[in-house]
Chains A and B, each alone.
Chain A
Amino acid sequence: MKKEEIIKNIIKSKSSLHSNEFLSWVQKSEENRKEFIRYKNLWALLRTGNELDRKYVNEDFILVKKRMKKTGTGFKVPELIRYVAIIVLALIGGYLIHSIPNSGEVFMNEVSVPKGNRSSIVLPDGSKVWLTNGSRLIYPEVFNDKIRNVKLEGEAYFTISHDESKPFIVDIGGQQIKVLGTEFSVLAYPDDNIVQVDLITGKVQLDVFEEIGSDKYKSYQLKPSYSLVLDKTSGSLKNYKIPDSFYKYWQQGIYEFKNEPFVSLAKKIDRIYGIKVIFEDNTLKGCTFTGAFFLDSNIYTIIETFRRASSIPFEYTIDKNQIYLKREK
């Protein structure tokens, strides 16, 4: 039998049963047997595991964690802070709320979700908001006015209950989003140069003010399953179809990226994991990566994955909430 044929048989079979003919060929001589064993083992050793569905890895890790005795030293400081924060927050309901007395009778609530955490809140009108990665939402205890007004810094996913008599408005600094009844998400960090609105269903409108405090604005309407991205400095707008990765992000906590430069991923790492990435070598900043983060992975897993994928080899050290990257000699 030709070598190629032995290999084909091995690759096909896994642990399922080989054909009768093949087995009898292997059994025929000691030489055949040795040849088979050699290829079988080598093939098994060289498996990269890439074809194993990621969901098994995640599920099985949870099983293993449950069985682990609590003998380890847990997590290093950055993780520790994160986990303590999560536990504390879980005890009080998953997020921080403190009430700020308003000039009128109505109290304002402020909700903030720590980095690396996701949480949902139900607003007084029954609308639901998911907040993530260090985002803040300010809303009144009761919606008394003719409009339902909330303020957002960061990222959130809204499911707004329909009420035509009371439009819902999300204030995001220099812009606002007017809503009837709908599902959409907003990305609006004050320190980012862009604002993004993704509309799933319904109808929303983005109003861009000429300047902060002014009442002159331009309005843009969105079609369902489209995103609108506003460049805050140039004022330019881009409109495109929402990619599948969007749903993965909000539903499964997976952030997918394609050819994204390291420097921009570093910003995401800071937001998601609360850890600052410091480039001690500028050439690393421009490296691009394609892949995914799992929002609940730990920072070591993330950075090791980057290290393995990087075309420029680098080393890192983690100190408190900072991670230093430098080129490997």
Chain B
Amino acid sequence: MNSLSSEIITLLNQKQKAAFEVIFNLYYPRLVCFAQEYVSFEVARNLVQDAFLSFWEKNPPVISESQLQSYLYTTVKNSCISRLRHEKIKKKFIEESERKIQKQLYISALENLDTSTIAFQEIEVIIERTLADLPPRCRKVFILSRFEGKKNHEVAGELNISQKAVEAQITKALKIFRIALKDFLPLVAYLLVVR
């Protein structure tokens, strides 16, 4: 449900600015928040802007959204690593030791991060498959509530069911997701509940 339309992919391959703008709007926020986990907010913004520019200038052939994701995340990941290394050398004598330890930790985390197309496909597939396996009413409630960000009473109104029933369906869906994503747990469970 979250894949780019073939129209956009075609336009992207023709190097159309309009399609580039679509990609920017969809991925800029995600990538900045991703990079911000490792580097400062200002640095994250700069790195991600550079990644988009290099994507535009190199214009690599795009075949699917997961491949595009992989390209963007890999570029940003590598820039984060070189940035952290650079900071480590530059601030060798003035930084407190905890900061240095944390930077080293983040460098090895990033080096261990799989940003291949397959990794993205995997998460996507698990979510899509789980969603498809949910009972219809449960799926409907879950999509309205988690993906469209509607409040429980709004979902209840839209589907003409009680608010209690909405809550019950969401709990049910979360349980199913927890099982499906057990390798990513408990982080995903946390994410699903917090959002």
Question: Which residues of A are in contact with B by a Cβ distance under 8 Å?
Answer: 3-4, 7, 11, 14-15, 17-18, 20, 23, 26-27, 33, 36-37, 39-52, 56-57, 60-61, 63-64, 67-69, 71-76, 79, 259, 288, 290, 297-301, 304-305, 307-309, 311, 313, 315-318
Best-buried of A4, A11, A41, A288 by chain B (most CB within 10 Å): A41
Q: Is there an interface contact between B21 and A298, defined as CB atoms closer than 8 Å?
A: yes
Q: Is there an interface contact between B53 and A298, defined as CB atoms closer than 8 Å?
A: no
A56-B45, A290-B150, A298-B22 are known; give 19 further A-B pairs, CB within 8 A: A7-B187, A15-B36, A15-B106, A36-B105, A37-B112, A43-B187, A48-B30, A49-B30, A52-B33, A60-B28, A61-B21, A64-B53, A73-B14, A73-B15, A298-B18, A300-B11, A304-B22, A305-B25, A315-B5
Best-buried of A288, A300, A316, A318 by chain B (most CB within 10 Å): A300
Cα A220 to Cα B8 with chains together (Å): 50
Q: Is there an interface contact between B187 and A44, defined as CB atoms closer than 8 Å?
A: no
Contact A17 B102, CB 8 Å, known A47-B30, A311-B140:
yes
Chain A residues whose CB sits within 8 angstroms of the CB of B7 once the complex forms = 300, 315-318
What are 11 inter-chain pairs, A to B, with CB distance below 8 A?
A: A15-B38, A15-B106, A37-B108, A45-B123, A57-B25, A72-B16, A76-B16, A290-B148, A300-B7, A300-B22, A307-B5
> A124 to nearest B CB, angstroms?
40
Contact A52 B15, CB 8 Å, known A41-B109, A300-B22, A301-B21:
no
Q: Is there an interface contact between B34 and A44, defined as CB atoms closer than 8 Å?
A: yes
Cα A294 to Cα B7 with chains together (Å): 21
Cα A304 to Cα B20 with chains together (Å): 12
Best-buried of B25, B38, B105, B110 by chain A (most CB within 10 Å): B25
Q: Is there an interface contact between B28 and A57, defined as CB atoms closer than 8 Å?
A: yes
Chain B residues whose CB sits within 8 angstroms of the CB of A315 once the complex forms = 5, 7
Question: Is the C-beta of B26 less than 8 angstroms from some C-beta in chain A?
Answer: yes
Cα A166 to Cα B40 with chains together (Å): 60
Q: Is there an interface contact between B184 and A42, defined as CB atoms closer than 8 Å?
A: yes
> A265 to nearest B CB, angstroms?
15
Q: Is there an interface contact between A64 and B4, defined as CB atoms closer than 8 Å?
A: no
Q: Is there an interface contact between B33 and A51, defined as CB atoms closer than 8 Å?
A: yes
Q: Is there an interface contact between A74 and B33, defined as CB atoms closer than 8 Å?
A: no
Cα A23 to Cα B190 with chains together (Å): 22
Q: Of all chain B residues, which has the CB nearest A49?
A: B29
Cα A48 to Cα B28 with chains together (Å): 10
8 Å CB contact of B37 from A44, A307, A309, A313: A44
> A189 to nearest B CB, angstroms?
27
Q: Mark B36-58, 1 if CB is under 8 A from A, else 0.
A: 11111100110011001100110
Chain B residues whose CB sits within 8 angstroms of the CB of A41 once the complex forms = 109-110, 112-113
Cα A32 to Cα B10 with chains together (Å): 45
Question: Is the C-beta of B160 less than 8 angstroms from some C-beta in chain A?
Answer: no
Q: Is there an interface contact between B143 and A72, defined as CB atoms closer than 8 Å?
A: no
8 Å CB contact of B186 from A7, A15, A317: A7
Q: Is there an interface contact between B32 and A42, defined as CB atoms closer than 8 Å?
A: no
Cα A73 to Cα B58 with chains together (Å): 15
Cα A315 to Cα B8 with chains together (Å): 11
Cα A17 to Cα B53 with chains together (Å): 30
Q: Is there an interface contact between B34 and A47, defined as CB atoms closer than 8 Å?
A: yes
8 Å CB contact of A37 from B5, B21, B109: B109
Q: Of all chain B residues, which has the CB nearest A48?
A: B30
Chain A residues whose CB sits within 8 angstroms of the CB of B98 once the complex forms = 17-18, 20, 23
Q: Is there an interface contact between A300 and B19, defined as CB atoms closer than 8 Å?
A: yes
8 Å CB contact of A14 from B17, B37, B112, B149: B37
Q: What are the 8 tightest A-B residue pairs by CB atom distance, in nearest-first order?
A: A49-B29, A49-B30, A47-B33, A44-B37, A52-B29, A37-B109, A41-B113, A72-B15
Q: Is there an interface contact between B31 and A64, defined as CB atoms closer than 8 Å?
A: no
Question: Is the C-beta of B94 less than 8 angstroms from some C-beta in chain A?
Answer: no
Cα A267 to Cα B92 with chains together (Å): 60
Chain A residues whose CB sits within 8 angstroms of the CB of B53 once the complex forms = 64, 67-68
